Amino acid sequence: MTRITLTGRCPACERTSAFRGPYSLHETCPACGVRFERDPGSFLGALAVAYGLAVLILAAVATVLWVRYGAFEGLAFVLVGVAVIAVLLVYRPAKAWWLWWMWAAGFVHRDDDPPSARNG
């Protein structure tokens, strides 16, 4: 699971990347035909995971900066920048992780797979 999450590969076949761009997925896997997104909004969970991780990163950075330098002028701007960068860095692995969990639960499968052949 960790390798799939870090590389963004298809959770079903692990042969090709599930991503067609930095953050967008292919509609189906080019190698095995697994459909990644069945319903609009099915990746809102990935957004929530990425947001939660970004908040933890932001809290850690804010704590370190506050302890080390106190409330300096421009702290808010630094933290906004850290928050944006954290979300951009964390969203793709969070989306790959979410895709793996959706596949493991049986929500990501080929269109022609019978229910008995799906994961979950």
The model's pTM is: 0.79
Collect all residues with Cβ–Cβ distance below 8 Å to 36 and sequence separation of at least 6.
18, 25, 26, 27, 28, 29, 99, 108
Which pLDDT tens digit goes with each residue over 26-45?
988 999 888 888 778 888 88
What per-residue string of b and e applies to 38-69 under the rule 16 or more CB within 10 Å gives b? eeeeebeebeebbbebbeebbeebeeebeeee
CB atoms within 10 A of CB 37: 17
Cβ neighbour number for residue 97 with a 10 Å cutoff: 22
Report pLDDT digits (tens) over 45-98: 899 999 999 999 999 999 999 999 988 899 999 999 999 999 999 999 999 999
Closest CA to 98 of 55, 54, 41: 41
pLDDT of residue 79: 94
Residue 91's alpha-carbon distances to 6, 52, 76, in angstroms, are 11, 10, 22
